[in-house]
Amino acid sequence: MDKEKLEFFKKKLLKMREAILDKSKKLKEDSYTLGTDGIQDMADAASNAYNADILMSISDNDLNLLKEIDSSLDKIAGDSYGICEECEEEITEKRLEANPVARYCITCKRMMEEKRI
């Protein structure tokens, strides 16, 4: 992959990373305000606890994506970005544009999914 395309994907990954961190900060701030609107009955308290749990699980999903983004950025730095971890062939740019953290080419990904079924 040429340097111009690598720079394009690097910027895209950094933008995704920044969006996740901004979202996480907002979710954390929102979780602090749950239940601070006065006296709560048991149903309100349960609802607020449930909402806080959902906010934290979303953060877990974002944390996993953040790890994938960081791994992809490391691959760019190490000149291995866009190489399938299974067959070591190039991942198409079209696939990387759709999913910049893709670790496998579409053929290997499909084979892996079929084996799970």
pLDDT per position as a tens digit, 47-82: 556 555 555 556 678 888 989 999 999 999 999 999
What is the separation of C-alpha 27 from the centre of its chain, rounded to a whole number of angstroms? Answer: 15
29 has a pLDDT exceeding 80: no
DSSP 62-106: HHHHHHHHHHHHHHHHTT-TTB-TTT-PBPPHHHHHH-TT--S-H
43 has a pLDDT exceeding 70: no
Task: Count CB atoms within 10 A of the CB of residue 105.
Answer: 21
Domain limits at 75?
1-81
On average, the pLDDT of the chain sits at 83
pLDDT value for 63? 83
37 has a pLDDT exceeding 60: no
pLDDT value for 62? 84
State whether 115 and 62 are in the same domain. no
Q: How many domains does the chain have?
A: 2
State whether 20 and 55 are in the same domain. yes
pLDDT, average across residues 78-100: 96
Name the percent of the chain lying above pLDDT 90: 57
Name the percent of the chain lying above pLDDT 70: 71
State whether 97 and 107 are in the same domain. yes
